[in-house]
């Protein structure tokens, strides 16, 4: 059973790594696009609404993929005043409990409420209110769902990791 949990943990870690890669790639493309937009606007007096909207779409990708990736490396906001006082075993318990009772339920709740929002946008064919804007307004809305699927995945991975580490800790003491 422990071997299965470890394998599942590694698979989920790769999935979260994929989210980080996608977010990082979106950031690089967004920076290049912003530079190109700025250059074309100030050097040549040209601007494109679709390019500015694409920046917004790429920012959505970057932010929504980055949440799970930040969780993976503990680079997220946490109340360190409390957690810094815990022992390593206490931190494992805290991480296990917060993954199962805070992060996972919140992610599932956000998925539950944002999925109909994205579906409605997709079925309506919602696009930019600007005539030269992008026609796929549902993409950033769907990214909320996708991003929190990655958060749920990372929450399960953290619960498995901390549960495994606690089992190993208490088995080593016996």
pLDDT above 90 covers what percent of the chain? Answer: 77
Among the residue ranges 70-79, 95-104, 106-115, 121-130, the one predicted with the least confidence is: 70-79
What are 36-94's pLDDT values in tens digits? Answer: 999 999 999 888 899 999 999 999 999 999 999 999 988 766 667 777 788 999 999 99
Find, among 28, 103, 15, the residue nearest to 59 by Cα: 28
Exposure b/e, 19-30, CB count within 10 A at least 16 = b: bbebbeebbeeb
pLDDT bucket at 174, cuts 50 / 70 / 90: low
Statement: residue 29 has pLDDT above 70: yes
**129-143, pLDDT tens digit by residue?**
888 889 999 999 999
Considering the entire predicted model, what is its pTM? 0.89
pLDDT of residue 78: 67
CA–CA separation, 114 and 174 (whole Å): 46
Q: pLDDT per residue over 148-170, tens digit each?
A: 999 999 999 999 999 999 999 99
Per-residue model confidence (pLDDT) at position 108: 98
**Whether the predicted pLDDT of 144 surpasses 90:** yes
Q: Is 160 exposed, middle or buried (0-12, 13-18, 19+ CB in 10 A)?
A: buried
């Amino acid at each position: 059973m422990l071997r299965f949990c470890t394998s599942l943990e590694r698979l989920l870690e790769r999935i979260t790594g994929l989210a980080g890669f996608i977010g990082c790639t979106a950031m690089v493309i967004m920076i290049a696009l912003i530079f190109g937009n700025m250059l074309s606007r100030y050097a040549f007096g040209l601007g494109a609404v679709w390019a500015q909207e694409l920046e917004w779409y790429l920012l959505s990708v970057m932010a929504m993929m980055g949440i799970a990736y930040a969780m993976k490396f503990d680079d997220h906001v946490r109340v360190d005043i409390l957690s810094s006082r815990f022992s390593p075993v206490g931190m494992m318990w805290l991480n296990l409990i917060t993954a199962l009772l805070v992060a996972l339920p919140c992610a599932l709740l956000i998925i539950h409420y944002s999925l109909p929002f994205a579906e409605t946008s997709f079925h309506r064919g919602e696009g930019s209110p600007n005539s030269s804007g992008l026609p796929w307004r549902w993409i950033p809305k769907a990214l909320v769902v996708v991003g929190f699927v990655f958060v749920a995945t990372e929450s399960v991975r953290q619960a498995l990791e901390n549960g495994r580490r606690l089992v190993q800790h208490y088995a080593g003491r016996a």
